Chain A
Amino acid sequence: GENVEQHPSTLSVQEGDSAVIKCTYSDSASNYFPWYKQELGKGPQLIIDIRSNVGEKKDQRIAVTLNKTAKHFSLHITETQPEDSAVYFCAASSGNTPLVFGKGTRLSVIA
């Protein structure tokens, strides 16, 4: 089955700097890669996703890149703000299997 590895487990950045979180997956059939943000006391919420027919997707300060050959995808957050502090999860799915999640990255943005 699918296995998703996520790094780093914790990340601290200064406000205004960029943050990058990386994930690798094992199943070459996976074609859907979402990223979720979980704030304290809340459930995970989708912030951006990418499908295997594109290599990059951007939404304001957030971007995701996908390298299918290397089986890895990354989340990029630019101009970080204190409200970006949260736990971020990557996930992968082949479309007919449930999402498999990474272990999460705790991002702290220091003002």
Chain B
Amino acid sequence: ETGVTQTPRHLVMGMTNKKSLKCEQHLGHNAMYWYKQSAKKPLELMFVYNFKEQTENNSVPSRFSPECPNSSHLFLHLHTLQPEDSALYLCASSQDNQAGGGGNEQFFGPGTRLTVL
């Protein structure tokens, strides 16, 4: 257990569905991250929240919408996804002192395996 939990662990959805991924960290960290991990690509950073403020958005399509209501919870809202969005979505957290996030260990959750039909 890393102190970062993600639900659900597996999700199958159609292209017209709306679903949400949830991440919770119990480590008292102030930064949280969403990554996409595909079979043949490195870990792709999607969003960074530091002190609940979004500080990074790596040109992610608008069909992915993050929400960070507090420093312990992070959501990724999904709507009208495409089959190429099928991947493992990883959440991470860290204790960072700078606005951009980085320079300290990131703790990852187990991921949500998403399949878009």
- Do A43 and B103 touch across chains, with their CB atoms under 8 A apart? no
Least CB separation from B106: chain A residue: A99
Query: In terms of DSSP, what is the predominant structure of the interface of chain B?
Result: loop
A101-B43, A103-B41 are known contacts. Are A44 and B100 too (CB-CB below 8 A)?
no
**B117 interface contact, C-beta 8 A:** no
Tell me, rounded to whole Å, the shortest Cβ–Cβ distance linking B56 to chain A. Answer: 6
Complex Cα gap A107–B78 (Å): 34
From A34, A49, A96, name the one whose CB has the most chain B CB atoms within 10 angstroms: A96
Q: Chain A residues near B4 (CB, 8 Å)? A: 43
Interface stretch, picked from A14-22, A59-67, A78-86, A87-95, is A87-95
How many of chain B's residues have a CB under 8 angstroms from any CB in A?
A: 25
Least CB separation from B41: chain A residue: A103
A89-B42, A104-B42 are known contacts. Are A98 and B100 too (CB-CB below 8 A)?
yes
Least CB separation from B44: chain A residue: A101
Beta-carbon contacts under 8 Å, A48-63 to B = 49
**B66 interface contact, C-beta 8 A:** no
Q: Chain B residues near A98 (CB, 8 Å)? A: 33, 45, 48, 56, 100-102
Interface size bracket, A side: 20 to 34
Residue-wise interface mask of B (30-46) relative to A, using a CB-CB cutoff of 8 A (1 in contact, 0 not): 00010000000111010
- Do B90 and A96 touch across chains, with their CB atoms under 8 A apart? no
**B2 interface contact, C-beta 8 A:** yes
Residue-wise interface mask of B (101-114) relative to A, using a CB-CB cutoff of 8 A (1 in contact, 0 not): 11111111111000
Q: Chain A residues near B107 (CB, 8 Å)? A: 46
Complex Cα gap A101–B108 (Å): 14
A/B interface sample: 10 pairs, CB < 8 A: A31-B103, A32-B103, A34-B106, A43-B2, A44-B90, A44-B108, A93-B103, A98-B45, A101-B42, A101-B43
Residues in A lying within 8 Å of B, measured CB to CB: 31-32, 34, 36, 41-46, 49, 89, 93-104
